[in-house]
Structure 1
């Protein structure tokens, strides 16, 4: 892979003095030529727009599974782990950005190619494909659960449309997801510049906050009335199996913070790319606050009855005034949020698939036929997956234990340990070794525990 740099990335501080950096084969590269299809370069993204786009990348479906992690870990260890994951994510992104500046790489794929050659570039492309397809399938599953209902542990949780109109052919899961795909996902996924999604990203963050505010309000009301029991502060540990079960939450937590595949794309479009570190820190602080609040109040509200997808819990009687209206408001607001997150995660997915299949072709945005075929094919695969995968926890376990942990921790650590330019400090090496050991050990144990639960004990405890 050839990387041609007209001007070092570290000197790109304003729209006036930015120069295009061309790397047509990098999978995550929204180059000025490829983004605009040959028009003038775009590098005028604002700080706030970048924060919204990165925050939207982070706060997706993972937030819905976090209350269920509190059920496994207990309230105190659960909150501690969420905060720890935020710091590790910030550190891994900082390593990526620092090595990208030195290598003059403008994409994750370009950096992996610089460090490990063509096989490294292909590895990150495959990881992003697996992770993002899994995440987008989760989005569709949740939207289907919210609008059409879901069955868990033998209990049926009615969807919003089913509650309003009863069971009808047009509010069945397949039909609802089909209309959502054709009417919302497909048009938003057709946009070729990530900054074009800044307004939908801002709206999606606002909708996530609406979900959080309503959840907090309901929980506080029930706390004042004394209708909420004290939740478990620590996990229940009785034997080795219960210890191993604690690690099943790791893939979910990893997936909740994965945003690395969009950092370079956002950085490339920033008017002042020296702001990217502040963008990352602001986004992580915002998202961590939302995660902690959602985990605490979601677990407080539902306790041991918390489902894998906490939105499904809002189909039950909350025992408060206007409970039905609040239930519907929570579920509809977050379903709308996920609909607006979809194109942000779909954007790098399409670029990676194009880079993997057509590494020598002209930029994707300048080839409308290839752009349309890839977009249509990916959306079709995601749609089919959402109709056949039963649980978001199953999807999180697969993607989180494989691709997500590579994208977020193992590959940034590998780039640092490779240290091709000799810029890694001793603390960077220690941190990288820690991330690799933690990631590998935790996910091996998580996979073993899930497999043991599945084949020895039947359905998992979360059902």
Structure 2
């Protein structure tokens, strides 16, 4: 979910129409990690608490393997379309985005539906940012007598900052803070694991290995949220100088990320057991190292939040510019800028309102992972593959596509029910 936002600056100038990728396999490996790993990982120990450490591990492995295979389906669709256009016209077609594949499969409706899901996914990640910041800042002042709820921090501190940052329209101007955010993420994970091992004598492998079948979809939804960098697949592959190596680079990245996710989830849950919070940093004591991690993460996310919102801003402004009444504003450059800025502020307020109404970080990211991420990661790739490549692949591959579609829809339906049920929202 955070992935698209953080990867965008690294891919500037790559994957554009007519452009040739120039990144090495090592650079692409780094870009994939940046695209996928985000703050969602801090909710994994809670998912393991709800599902059990064994069921949680299986959920993460299943999400990782499935996401990897479906990302390859997108690349195969793009390669097939480009090769066919090269044979037919002598000029290679450029498929630049997930929306382009949606348009090839279902026309204009397919493009709009695909881009809408990507937008909802981005918005879900943005809401998760605000929830994370609000809850962590509120926890820092929990010992005071002031009623400083997460909503107060969201509206009185974070929202004004984000309104000011929304005036920065250049994505490249915000790129340097991406590295800072990644550093804070790594530091946070390292300190959390260190705290976990300090409680090593309390570890018990008998602690809830499997909490029943209902826990697995919940953990899978959280894991899907953590793996969500799906809309960057085609841009990442196009950015490589040697695109044939992409599947192997992607495989290495997924193996490493999956192992890290599993270890982080297991250690966090085994350290705190049934006391594991939906954001693992909330379990940390208020000593200097934990406070520095919480503050550092909040600052980093506050400054990378505009990057997460950037695709939303762009699409809304594009739609505004195409409306009849907005055409009049285009006669005045200042009025047009004010119109765009007003739209950005309204979107920020809407996202802040949603974030303030969410009862729990863990339930929310599982809901987003079970709905939007399941459709983006499973259903659409397999559907596109059937429509665009299905006539030229073997029967077992088409059967696998149908299975992925059925699994994705079933997972989305049950995962949504599970995340919205009373026992989840009250957690």
- Which residues in structure 2 correspond to 1:22-33 (within 5 Å)? none
Aligned to 2:134: 144
Q: Distance in 2 between matches of 1:189 and 1:130?
A: 22
- Which residues in structure 2 correspond to 1:426-441 (within 5 Å)? 426-441=395-410
- Which residues in structure 2 correspond to 1:4-403 (within 5 Å)? 21=17, 51-103=29-81, 104-148=94-138, 159-162=139-142, 166-167=144-145, 173-175=151-153, 177-183=155-161, 187=165, 190-193=168-171, 199-223=176-200, 226-232=201-207, 234-237=209-212, 243-267=213-237, 270=239, 272=241, 274=243, 276-277=246-247, 280-314=250-284, 317=285, 324-339=287-302, 341-354=304-317, 372-403=341-372
Q: TM-score, normalised by structure 2?
A: 0.78
Q: Does structure 2 conserve the Cα–Cα contact (< 8 Å) formed by 1:185 and 1:343?
A: no
Aligned to 1:151: none
Q: TM-score, normalised by structure 1?
A: 0.72
Question: Structure 2 regions of 5+ residues with no counterpart?
Answer: 1-12, 82-93, 328-332
CA shift in 2, pair 1:52/1:432, >3 Å: same
How far does residue 113 in structure 1 lie from its aligned partner after superposition?
Answer: 0.2
Q: Does structure 1 conserve the Cα–Cα contact (< 8 Å) formed by 2:71 and 2:230?
A: yes
* Alignment: residue pair count: 393
1:249-297, Cα deviation, whole Å (9 max, x unpaired): 33222222111123334456x3636265466445434432432222011
Report the more deviating stretch, 280-289 or 246-255: 280-289
Q: Distance in 2 between matches of 1:129 and 1:298?
A: 31
Q: Does structure 2 conserve the Cα–Cα contact (< 8 Å) formed by 1:106 and 1:264?
A: yes
Q: Does structure 2 conserve the Cα–Cα contact (< 8 Å) formed by 1:201 and 1:341?
A: yes
User: Please, what is the CA RMSD of the aligned residues?
Assistant: 3.6
Aligned to 1:320: none
How far does residue 244 in structure 1 lie from its aligned partner after superposition?
Answer: 3.3
Q: Distance in 2 between matches of 1:230 and 1:446?
A: 27
Aligned to 2:330: none
Q: Does structure 2 conserve the Cα–Cα contact (< 8 Å) formed by 1:52 and 1:202?
A: no
Q: Distance in 2 between matches of 1:272 and 1:374?
A: 39
Q: Does structure 1 conserve the Cα–Cα contact (< 8 Å) formed by 2:60 and 2:219?
A: no
Q: Distance in 1 between matches of 2:256 and 2:409?
A: 28
1:311-354, Cα deviation, whole Å (9 max, x unpaired): 2222xx5xxxxx62233234234334533553443233334445
Q: Comparing both structures, which one devotes a greater share of its residues to helix?
A: 2
How far does residue 299 in structure 1 lie from its aligned partner after superposition?
Answer: 0.6
How far does residue 92 in structure 1 lie from its aligned partner after superposition?
Answer: 1.2
